[in-house]
A and B are shown apart, each in its own frame.
Chain A
Amino acid sequence: MKLLKRLGKALLLLSAYPCGLIALLWFTFVLFHIPPGPALHAYKNGALGGGNFNTFYSLSETLVEATPLLLTGLSIVVAWQAGMFSIGGEGQLLMGALTAMSLAWLVHYLPAPLVTLIMVCASIAAGALWGGAAGWLRVKFNVQEVISTIMLNYLALYLVGAAVQGPLQERSRSGPESDLLPDKLLFAHLLPPAVTGGMIARLHTGVLIALAAVPVVWLYLYRTRQGFALRLTGSNSNAARCAGYSVSKTRLQAMLFSGALCGLAGSVQLLGVASRLDQGFSPGWGYSAIPVALMGGLAPGGTLLSALFFGALTAGANNAERLASVPAEVVNIVQAAAVLAVVGIHAWQNRAQLHAGE
Chain B
Amino acid sequence: MRQAHLKPPLLEMRGICKQYGTTVALDRVDLTGCAGEIHAILGENGAGKSTLMNILSGMTMPDSGAISLRGSLVQLRSPAEARAHSIAMVHQHFTLVPAFTAAENFALDVKGGNSAHFSVREAAAPIFKKAEELGWVFDPEARVRDLPVGVQQRMEIVRALATGAEILVFDEPTAVLAENEIEELFAVLRRLKEEGRLVLLIAHKLTEIMAAADRVTVLRKGKNAAVSDISSTNVAQLAAWMVQGSEVLEPAHVLPSLLPRRSSAEGGETLLKADKLVVYGDRGEAALRGVSMEVRAGEVLGIGGVDGNGQTELAEALAGLRKTAEGSITWKGGRFLPGRTLTAAYIPQDRRRDGLAVNMTIEENLLFEAVKDREYRKWSLLRRHSLRKLGQRLVEEFDIRTSSMFLPASSLSGGNQQKIIVARALYRNPEWIVALNPTRGLDIGAARYVHTRLLQARERGASIVLISTDLDELRAVADRAAILSGGRLSPFSLDSASSIELGLMLGGAGALEKGDELA
Interface residues of A (CB under 8 A from B): 2, 219, 223-226, 228-229, 231-232, 235-236, 238-244, 352-353, 355-358
Contacts of A228 in B (CB 8 A): 364, 367, 371, 382
Q: When the two chains form their complex, are residues B381 and A219 in contact, meaning their CB atoms are under 8 A apart?
A: yes
A41–B364 CA distance with the chains assembled, in angstroms:
49
Chain A contact residues: over half helix, strand or loop, or mixed? helix
Given contacts A240-B357, A353-B410, A356-B21, 8 further A-B contacts (CB under 8 A): A224-B382, A231-B364, A236-B357, A236-B358, A239-B368, A241-B354, A242-B321, A243-B368
A223–B354 CA distance with the chains assembled, in angstroms:
24
Instruction: Tell me the B328-344 residues at the A interface (CB within 8 Å).
Output: 338-339
State how many angstroms separate the Cβ of B157 from the closest Cβ of chain A: 28
Residue of B nearest to A239 (CB): B357
Contacts of B371 in A (CB 8 A): 225, 228-229
Residue of A nearest to B381 (CB): A223
Q: When the two chains form their complex, are residues B359 and A225 in contact, meaning their CB atoms are under 8 A apart?
A: no
Q: When the two chains form their complex, are residues B382 and A225 in contact, meaning their CB atoms are under 8 A apart?
A: yes
Q: Does B384 contact A (CB under 8 A)?
A: yes
Contacts of A242 in B (CB 8 A): 319, 321, 346, 348, 354-355
A355–B408 CA distance with the chains assembled, in angstroms:
14
State how many angstroms separate the Cβ of B166 from the closest Cβ of chain A: 30
Contacts of B320 in A (CB 8 A): 244
Q: Sorted from nearest, which 8 A-B pairs have the closest CB atoms? A: A235-B357, A358-B20, A243-B368, A236-B357, A242-B348, A242-B354, A356-B21, A355-B21
Q: Does B246 contact A (CB under 8 A)?
A: no
Contact bitstring B23-63, A, C-beta under 8 A = 1, else 0: 10100000000000000000000000000000000000000
A225–B376 CA distance with the chains assembled, in angstroms:
10
A352–B354 CA distance with the chains assembled, in angstroms:
25
Q: When the two chains form their complex, are residues A225 and B20 in contact, meaning their CB atoms are under 8 A apart?
A: no
State how many angstroms separate the Cβ of A58 from the closest Cβ of chain B: 37
Partner of A243, one of B359, B369, B381: B369
Q: Does B295 contact A (CB under 8 A)?
A: no
A241–B338 CA distance with the chains assembled, in angstroms:
14
The winner among A226, A239, A357 for most chain B CB atoms within 10 A is A239
Partner of B380, one of A224, A229, A243, A355: A224
A358–B411 CA distance with the chains assembled, in angstroms:
9
Q: Does B22 contact A (CB under 8 A)?
A: yes
Q: When the two chains form their complex, are residues A232 and B382 in contact, meaning their CB atoms are under 8 A apart?
A: no
Residue of B nearest to A244 (CB): B339
7 pairs, A vs B, C-beta closer than 8 Å: A228-B367, A241-B321, A244-B321, A244-B338, A356-B20, A356-B411, A358-B20
Contacts of A232 in B (CB 8 A): 357, 360, 364, 368
Q: Does B356 contact A (CB under 8 A)?
A: yes
Contacts of B353 in A (CB 8 A): 236, 238-239
State how many angstroms separate the Cβ of B404 from the closest Cβ of chain A: 9
Contacts of A223 in B (CB 8 A): 381-382, 384
State how many angstroms separate the Cβ of B469 from the closest Cβ of chain A: 19
Q: Does B428 contact A (CB under 8 A)?
A: no
Contacts of A352 in B (CB 8 A): 21
Partner of B23, one of A219, A226, A243, A358: A358
Contacts of B359 in A (CB 8 A): 235-236
State how many angstroms separate the Cβ of B475 from the closest Cβ of chain A: 27
Q: When the two chains form their complex, are residues A356 and B22 in contact, meaning their CB atoms are under 8 A apart?
A: yes
A312–B381 CA distance with the chains assembled, in angstroms:
34
Partner of A357, one of B354, B356, B367, B410: B410
Q: Does B372 contact A (CB under 8 A)?
A: yes
Q: When the two chains form their complex, are residues B354 and A239 in contact, meaning their CB atoms are under 8 A apart?
A: yes
State how many angstroms separate the Cβ of A352 from the closest Cβ of chain B: 8
Contact bitstring B346-390, A, C-beta under 8 A = 1, else 0: 101000011111111000100111011000010011101000000
Q: When the two chains form their complex, are residues A358 and B25 in contact, meaning their CB atoms are under 8 A apart?
A: yes
Residue of A nearest to B425 (CB): A243
Known contacts: A241-B321, A244-B339. The answer to whether A356 contacts B364 by CB under 8 A is: no
Partner of A244, one of B21, B372, B403: B372
Contacts of B21 in A (CB 8 A): 352, 355-356, 358
Known contacts: A225-B372, A228-B371. The answer to whether A235 contacts B360 by CB under 8 A is: yes
Residue of B nearest to A237 (CB): B357
Contacts of A236 in B (CB 8 A): 353, 356-359
State how many angstroms separate the Cβ of A203 from the closest Cβ of chain B: 31
Known contacts: A242-B346, A244-B321, A244-B339. The answer to whether A225 contacts B377 by CB under 8 A is: yes
Contact bitstring B234-264, A, C-beta under 8 A = 1, else 0: 0000000000000000000000000000000
The winner among B21, B353, B369, B411 for most chain A CB atoms within 10 A is B21
Contacts of A358 in B (CB 8 A): 20-21, 23, 25
A2–B403 CA distance with the chains assembled, in angstroms:
10
A235–B355 CA distance with the chains assembled, in angstroms:
12
Residue of A nearest to B360 (CB): A235
Contacts of B384 in A (CB 8 A): 223
Contacts of A231 in B (CB 8 A): 357, 360, 364
Residue of B nearest to A231 (CB): B360
The winner among A2, A231, A243, A244 for most chain B CB atoms within 10 A is A243
Contacts of A353 in B (CB 8 A): 408, 410-411
State how many angstroms separate the Cβ of A13 from the closest Cβ of chain B: 16
Contacts of B377 in A (CB 8 A): 225
Contacts of B369 in A (CB 8 A): 243-244
Contacts of A355 in B (CB 8 A): 20-21
A219–B381 CA distance with the chains assembled, in angstroms:
8
